[in-house]
A = this chain, B = another copy of it.
Amino acid sequence: MNHPTVLISEVGPRDGLQSVRATMSTPHKLAWIDALVAAGLREIEVGSFVPARRLPQLADTAEVVRHARRHPGVTVMALVPNLQGAQAALDAGVHKLTLPVSASTAHSLANVRRTPAQMVDEAAAIVRLRDERAPAVLVEAGLSTAFGCTLQGAVAEDDVVRLAEALVAAGVDECGLSDTTGMAHPAQVRRLFRRVRAAIGARTGAAHLHNTRGLGLANCLAAWDEGVRTFDASLGGLGGCPYAPGASGNVVTEDLVFMFEAMGIDTGIDLERLFAARAPLREGLPGEPLYGMTPEAGLPLGFLPATRQEHADVH
Is there an interface contact between B258 and A213, defined as CB atoms closer than 8 Å? yes
Q: Which of A6-14, A31-39, A183-191 contacts B (4 or more CB under 8 A)?
A: A183-191
Q: Which of A111-119, A162-170, A297-305 contacts B (4 or more CB under 8 A)?
A: A297-305
Is there an interface contact between A315 and B190, defined as CB atoms closer than 8 Å? yes
A73 in contact (CB, < 8 A): no
Return 26 A-B CB contacts under 8 Å, by A number: A148-B300, A148-B302, A150-B301, A151-B301, A153-B300, A153-B301, A153-B302, A154-B302, A181-B300, A182-B300, A183-B300, A183-B301, A186-B259, A187-B263, A187-B313, A212-B293, A213-B255, A214-B293, A215-B258, A215-B259, A217-B218, A218-B218, A218-B259, A244-B293, A245-B289, A246-B293
Is there an interface contact between A215 and B296, defined as CB atoms closer than 8 Å? no
Chain B proximity of A294: nearest CB distance (Å): 4
**A148 cross-chain contacts in B, Cβ below 8 A:** 300-302
Please name the residue on chain B nearest to A191 by beta carbon: B313
A68 in contact (CB, < 8 A): no
Tell me the residues in window 235-277 of chain A with beta carbons closer than 8 Å to chain B beta carbons: 244-247, 252, 255, 258-259, 262-264
A259-B185, A263-B185 as given contacts; A244 in contact with B213, CB under 8 Å: no
**Number of interface residues, chain A, beta carbon within 8 A:** 51
A206 in contact (CB, < 8 A): no
**A297 cross-chain contacts in B, Cβ below 8 A:** 182, 212-213, 244, 247
Oligomeric state, in copies: 2
**A215 cross-chain contacts in B, Cβ below 8 A:** 217, 255, 258-259, 262
A222 in contact (CB, < 8 A): yes
Alpha-carbon distance between A315 and B186 when the two chains are bound, in angstroms:
9
A75 in contact (CB, < 8 A): no
Alpha-carbon distance between A84 and B216 when the two chains are bound, in angstroms:
43
Chain B proximity of A141: nearest CB distance (Å): 24
Please name the residue on chain B nearest to A314 by beta carbon: B187
A211 in contact (CB, < 8 A): yes
A44 in contact (CB, < 8 A): no
A291 in contact (CB, < 8 A): yes
A101 in contact (CB, < 8 A): no
